[in-house]
Every structure is written in C-alpha cells, then in structure tokens.
Amino acid sequence: MADSDFPGWHGTTIIGVKKGDQVVIAGDGQVSLGQTVIKGTARKVRRLSPGGFEIVAGFAGSTADAFTLLERLEAKLEATPGQLARASVELAKDWRTDKYLQKLEAMLIVTDGKDLFVITGAGDVLEPEHNVAAIGSGGNFALAAARAMMESEKSAEQVARSAMAIAADICVYTNGNLTVETI
C-alpha cells in the first residue's frame, strides 16, 4: 500500500481563549483513522512544568510528533525559564531548519497564563488576534464560535467549552469529550 493510499489520521480540535485574567486551552478527545473513530477519549491538552515554570499546551496532528515537539519545548523553557515567547521562537527556528523536525506533522497552542501562541512547522509563532486561537480539523469552527462570544459575559472557560461544543456539532472529526486546562 502506497503512502498516498493510507487513510490519514484525522481529528482534534484545540482552542485557546484568553479573557480577563484567565487563559484556557481546551481540546476534544477524538482520534480517527479514515472514517473510523479509533479513540474518543484522547488527552491532547497537557500541563507542563519545566523548571518550575508552568505552561499549558494543546496539540493537533500526529501524537508522536506532538510529544517530540513538547519535549523540545520543555528543553527550551528549561534553558530560558519564564520566557515562553523566546522558547517558542527557538523551537520554531529548530523546527523549520532541522531536517528531522521538518518532517513532524503537528501544531501547538501554548500559554503561560500571560501569553498565548500558536507554533507551526512553518517557523511561525503567532500571537492570535482577538485573544482566540484554534487548530485542528474543527479549528475554524471553534475559532468562529469563540470570536462571536468574546464580547459576552462568558468567562474564558465558558467561551472555550461553548465553542468546542459547536465545533463538535459541525466537524465529524471532533467530539465532545473535552480536556480543559486553565492557567
């Protein structure tokens, strides 16, 4: 079977919402292979504490690739404690230039409770407009829903949960089994 014949892994919607003094990253639990749901309770949002510095990260894409990136991010944070932006840029530079890392297929949303970034394999470290970032197969649905709710009285967590529920109703690769981390 050629690589192009292999049904790709699909799934995941991750959203980051920064509102007031709260930053939330939420992710669904579905992993699909082609048209089959392989797992419905995957945990794609993690709390990390490199060198006593707490961050929350969510990932979309290949799980093994995402864990490789999270390990690299932890190492960058240990080298630059308390400097999420700098560690993220250093990771993105490595990801863009290292021949091994270039093959990794994942994206990250990270926060330290102050900053919120999307890190991509294209070498981007993006600080989202409107304090909302979303990635993955249902990311655009969650992003649109969250942006519509940002002016409401809802908290960051309520916005994230509501946006994820809307994405799960629309995207067949997203479910309602959420992991939510607040910082």
The catalytic residue positions are: 12
Crossing angle of the two packed helices 84-97 and 63-79, in degrees rounded to 10? 130
**Sequence-separated (6 or more) residues with CB below 8 Å from residue 55:** 47, 48, 49, 77, 84, 110, 111, 112, 183
Give the integer Cα–Cα distance in Å for 32 and 39. 7
**Three-class DSSP category at 180:** strand
Return the closest-CA partner of residue 43 out of 30, 56, 61, 62. 30
Return the closest-CA partner of residue 31 out of 180, 179, 183, 153. 179
**Three-class DSSP category at 51:** helix
β partners of residue 126:
118
